[in-house]
Amino acid sequence: MIEMRNFKIEKPDEALRSIIQDKIDNLNKPKGSLGRLETLAMQICLAQQTLTPSLSHPCHLLLGGDHGIEREGVSVSPREVTWQQMINFTKGGGGVNMFCRQHGFHLRIVDVGVDHDLSQVSDILNRKIGLGTRNFLYEAAMTPDEYDRTLRVGVDLVDACYAEGCQVLCIGEMGIANTSPSSIWMSLFCQIPLDECIGAGAGLNTAGISHKRDILHQALNHFNEIYPQPSPQDIIRYFGGFEMVAAIGATLRAAELKILILVDGFIMTACALAACQLYPDAQAYMIFGHCGDESGHRRMLDALHAEPLLTLGMRLGEGTGALCAFPIVDSAVRMLNEMNNFDHANITKYF
């Protein structure tokens, strides 16, 4: 059993629910007429334990890492795309940059395990654990010590955001081949056959998907021989990427601090799923931004009983789908803080 940092994540106190509901119901609108915004507002108020929630200093963590399993040809893109894109992000040219600018998010670009020396790139935070993970076809992706250090990278990043006043956090990833560990996590944590969890990733053709399935089945069979009754930590460490485990650490620390977490697509939902395997109460602080186009994402959301805000057919990653959903979250908060109620507006209730 791996010894990991303990998180004190509290399930939101439900005592405020009826008071929050009363405030929502008495805004000058027909009861329930703002639909999903109303349930979202309830979640946010409970998470922050207030009737006047805030989304101050939104932050986005863009975490980069490479994967040993990429050497097996499970991705249409080579691993050098990871570091090339990381540099591109520093120049403001990525989708994540555009959406962060649009919605006012402070972007931190973080090298957790990219297989390239990025230490001289001033706009990339160097938190490198290694030059990519090991190849989980043959061995665990990371050692217990690397696993613990990687979790702490995520924790430290969130602490820095929190010190600046962050109340809402978005997390994205850049890591060629990271749909492979995500598929295995989904299969093991959701008890779904592996074949139903594997998709095209960044654009594999039919033959490529078939090869990916073969490789992942071999890796999973080998893992099952070593760990007949694995713990969640065993599963996360054996298959996860450095950027993914850092995302789990960040998610758990954010939940511990009662920071709202915007969850992105297939990979980040897999990280949310893994985080909930360790601490189920963390999900109360998660807002699932969208349902992506990667095969299995909807089923993973269903396993979490999560209702995404958007369905736009996106599968870029980087946190872009979650960032796109932010205006809806903002609208839910503005509804509570800016709409008048019937008494103040001198309007007779009409429902």
- Report yes or no on 4 lying in a domain: no
Residue 172 belongs to a domain: yes
Q: Mark whether 35 and 86 lie in a shared domain.
A: no
Q: Do both 103 and 228 map to the same domain?
A: yes
pLDDT digits (tens, 9 = 90+) for 152-195: 999 999 999 999 999 999 999 999 999 999 999 999 999 999 99
Per-residue confidence band for 343, with pLDDT thresholds at 50, 70 and 90? low
**CATH number of 158's domain:** 3.40.50.10210
pLDDT > 90 fraction of the chain, expressed in percent and rounded: 87
Angle at 184 between CA 192 and CA 95, to 5 degrees: 110
- Domain coverage including residue 266: 59-326
Catalytic center residues: 318
pLDDT at 348 over 60: no
pLDDT in tens, 218-237: 999 999 999 999 999 999 99
Residue 91 counted as domain residue: yes
pLDDT in tens, 42-57: 999 999 999 999 999 9
pLDDT at 80 over 90: yes
pLDDT band at 294 (very low <50, low <70, confident <90, very high): confident
CATH of the domain at 340: 1.10.1610.10
Q: Are residues 151 and 105 in the same domain?
A: yes
Q: Is residue 307 part of a domain?
A: yes
**Is there a single domain that holds both residue 151 and residue 33?**
no
| C-alpha–C-alpha distance, residues 242 and 190, integer Å | 22
Question: Is residue 5 one of the residues assigned to a domain?
Answer: no
Residues 181 and 311 in one domain: yes
Question: 282 and 173, same structural domain?
Answer: yes
Whether 71 and 171 map to the same domain: the answer is yes
pLDDT at 203: 73
Residues 206 and 282 in one domain: yes
Same domain, 201 and 121: yes
> 8-12, 40-44, 201-205, 277-281: which range is least confident on average?
201-205
Residue 108, strand partner residues: 61
Query: What's residue 15's pLDDT?
Result: 97
> Mind listing the pLDDT tens digit for each residue in 116-150?
999 999 999 999 999 999 999 999 999 999 999 99
- Does residue 110 contact residue 61 with C-beta atoms inside 8 Å? yes
- pLDDT for position 292: 86
Domain count, the chain: 2
Listed range (90-104, 144-158, 238-252, 293-307) with the worst mean pLDDT: 293-307
Does residue 316 belong to any structural domain of this protein? yes
Query: What type of residue sits at position 140?
Result: A
The separation between CA 53 and the C-alpha centre of its own chain, rounded to angstroms, equals 22
Task: Specify the pLDDT at position 171.
Answer: 98
**pLDDT, averaged across the chain:** 94
| Region of poorest pLDDT, from 203-207, 319-323, 331-335 | 203-207
Report pLDDT for 1.
Answer: 45
Greater confidence (204 vs 223) lies with: 223
**Does residue 6 sit within a domain?**
no
Identify whether residues 138 and 247 lie together within a single domain: yes
Q: pTM value?
A: 0.95
Residues 341 and 291 in one domain: no
Task: Calculate what percentage of the chain has a pLDDT beyond 70.
Answer: 95
In which band, very low, low, confident or very high, does the pLDDT at 28 lie, cut at 50, 70 and 90? confident
Same domain, 41 and 154: no
350 found inside a domain: no
